[in-house]
Structure 1
Amino acid sequence: MTTNDGQSGVLRYTAFSSDPDGGNPAGVVLDAAGLDDGDMLAIAAELGYSESAFLTAPPEGLGGEEGRAYSIRYFSPKAEVPFCGHATVATAIALAERIGPGELVFATRAGTVPVSVAEEDGVLRATLTSVEPHIEDIAEDDLAEALAALDWPASDLEPALPPRIAFAGARHLVVAAATRARLADLAYDFARLEALMRRLDLTTVQLVWRESATVFHVRDPFPVGGVVEDPATGAAAAAFGAYARELGVVPDDTVLTLHQGEDLGRPGRLTVTLRTGDARVRVGGAGARIG
């Protein structure tokens, strides 16, 4: 394994920012055919990013243009995850730099995820289309445990955005803060929240504050991945888009802007697009190579 540029090497890209110091960094291996599960987990752990992506040949019948379809797997420093939005965007940007912008298709453990890459004003942007999402209630006792682990009193929540578990490739608990100050003050019990998330099969907790009709600020604790906080979370953004539409928080056809990473000093911007008649959610953003 090499860590410099190359088809068999480990590349480093950030997603949801055109600045290498912004967004969410991911490891990208464009040819993981010679790696087993232990190798991939070891690479992800060594990098220390919230997730890394590993490409291999596509399964038979996946579809997509020849040479632009792949199988993809995602590993956090602690375990494999079924789907990761920011690593998908990072991988799509890395591929577009080598084979050009256009349409890509990824076979993930969660399902088939198409990605479109376009160049805008000299910046590559990738937009993924999620698998079919769904929303479910969270039990009162489980919510109380989540709030206790976060050290958030129920009085600090936003009543117009009730807590729910949302899925668009991975499961996320959506919890909305009433104020930006509440969102900014995040010091949670890592072990306690991790235990609850493992029991509920959650990938992150999507903490949200609504700035305006279509602009939100979000943060994502990720203890099950061995990371205190994910700087920009595409899978959670897709889940949140489905949540917001399902609860009537936003129109069926709209574009949302999610700001994430500001509190970590790695600002990122995620665009969430909802379309009437299509339950799937589109999540897009810029990307950049990390030197």
Structure 2
Amino acid sequence: MDILRYVAFSTDPSGGNPAGVVLDAEGVDEATMGAVAAEVGYSETAFAVPRPDGALDIRYFSPKAEVPFCGHATIATAVAHAHRHGVGDLLLHTMAGPVPVTTSARPDGSIVATLVSVEPRTAEIAEPDLAELLAALRWSADDLDPALPPRAAYAGAWHPVIAAARRDRLADLDYDMSALADLMARRDWTTVTLVQREADTVFHVRNPFPPGGVVEDPATGAAAAAFGGYLRALGLIDPPTVLTIHQGTDMGRPSLLTVGVPAHPSSGIEVTGTAVRIA
């Protein structure tokens, strides 16, 4: 098995979010995928199987579990595929649904990829769940930004969105991993999206990922897509618009995610980023 290693949402291998990529996983069973993902040790490893029509069937495994959709591993897979086959359009068949991706080359030789998520959704978080979530995060209600109310957001996987009123609150991440993992398993949440709004379309984000055995994800494309859908659904932005998301800074792996939010309420959310191979 040819396991490639890429960093997504950065042009520097020391930044961004690492992902394992297998471009041809034909015949590889689920148990082997899980074992390989655990051995690679990144938050996600993507396993692609080419289809006769040129599309890819793709599955995503963290070191502990399979997830239905992963944005940073999608960007990494698209760039790896472009390095091998050339840039252009690519359709990925994920467990969450079809995800089209487009890759293009920049003048400096780097490759950028844009995915379009499945239709996003938002849902209320029950008060007992919210109280349990805040307790696991060791946050209080006073830490929250009332302009960005808590919701669960979906664009291929579910992520609760919790907004901090201050940047220093976001910077201080010290949560109960066991308690948060238990709650997220019961509610089928993939990561927790912790955000702080710097400007109308500029956000700082952190994503705890205890269900995958990862304390924090330095760049989370699936959560970014879900967050774009959340902002549109709640009327917190004026679409069409483009969001800039800074993630990974507080953990020393700065990442940049560009999120395009179309005006139509059922349109998928666009997530754009670069990826580079790790030697």
TM-score of the superposition, structure 2-length normalised? 0.98
Structure 1 range deviating more: 277-286 or 102-111: 277-286
Q: Distance in 1 between matches of 2:38 and 2:236?
A: 38
Runs of 4+ in 1 over 3 A off after TM superposition: none
Query: What is the root-mean-square deviation of aligned Cα atoms in Å?
Result: 0.9
Match of 2:5 in 1: 12
Of the candidates 249, 258, 273, which is equivalent to residue 271 of structure 1? 258
- Partner SS state of residue 80, structure 2: helix
Of the candidates 264, 267, 274, which is equivalent to residue 286 of structure 1? 274
Q: Distance in 2 between matches of 1:260 and 1:119?
A: 24
Structure 1 residue 77 corresponds to structure 2 residue 63: yes
Q: Deviations over 1:190-232 (max 9, x none)?
A: 0000010011100000000001111000000000001000110
**Number of corresponding residues:** 277
- Partner SS state of residue 261, structure 2: strand
Q: Distance in 1 between matches of 2:38 and 2:133?
A: 27
- Partner SS state of residue 279, structure 1: coil
Q: Deviations over 1:111-141 (max 9, x none)?
A: 0000000112222100000001110000011
Structure 1 residue 98 corresponds to structure 2 residue 84: yes
Match of 2:234 in 1: 247
Of the candidates 244, 249, 254, which is equivalent to residue 257 of structure 1? 244
Match of 1:176 in 2: 163
Q: Which amino acid aligns with 2:184?
A: M
Q: Which amino acid aligns with 1:45?
A: A
Of the candidates 131, 134, 140, which is equivalent to residue 144 of structure 1? 131
Of the candidates 201, 207, 219, which is equivalent to residue 214 of structure 1? 201
Of the candidates 29, 35, 44, which is equivalent to residue 37 of structure 2? 44
- Partner SS state of residue 162, structure 1: coil
TM-superposed CA distance for 1:57, in Å, is 2.9
TM-superposed CA distance for 1:47, in Å, is 1.0
Structure 1 residue 226 corresponds to structure 2 residue 223: no
Q: Distance in 1 between matches of 2:169 and 2:110?
A: 34
Q: How does 1:108-123 map to 2 (within 5 A)?
A: 108-121=94-107, 122-123=109-110
Q: Deviations over 1:31-87 (max 9, x none)?
A: 1113111111011001111100001133x8xxxxx43x1100000000111000000
Match of 1:205 in 2: 192
Structure 1 residue 154 corresponds to structure 2 residue 141: yes
- Partner SS state of residue 117, structure 1: strand
TM-superposed CA distance for 1:248, in Å, is 1.1
Q: Which amino acid aligns with 2:14?
A: D
Q: Distance in 2 between matches of 1:44 and 1:264?
A: 22
TM-superposed CA distance for 1:285, in Å, is 0.4
Match of 1:4 in 2: none
Q: Which amino acid aligns with 1:130?
A: S
- Partner SS state of residue 74, structure 2: helix
Q: Distance in 2 between matches of 1:40 and 1:276?
A: 38
Q: Distance in 2 between matches of 1:258 and 1:76?
A: 23
Q: Distance in 2 between matches of 1:161 and 1:272?
A: 18
Match of 1:5 in 2: none
Provide structure 1 residue ranges, at least 5 long, that are not aligned to the other structure.
1-7, 61-65
Of the candidates 14, 23, 34, which is equivalent to residue 27 of structure 2? 34
Q: Distance in 1 between matches of 2:223 and 2:188?
A: 14
Q: Which amino acid aligns with 2:74?
A: T
Q: Deviations over 1:174-198 (max 9, x none)?
A: 0000011000000100000001001
Provide structure 2 residue ranges, at least 5 long, that are not aligned to the other structure.
none
Q: Deviations over 1:136-172 (max 9, x none)?
A: 0000110000000000011010000000000000000
TM-superposed CA distance for 1:252, in Å, is 1.8
Match of 1:3 in 2: none
Q: Which amino acid aligns with 2:269?
A: V
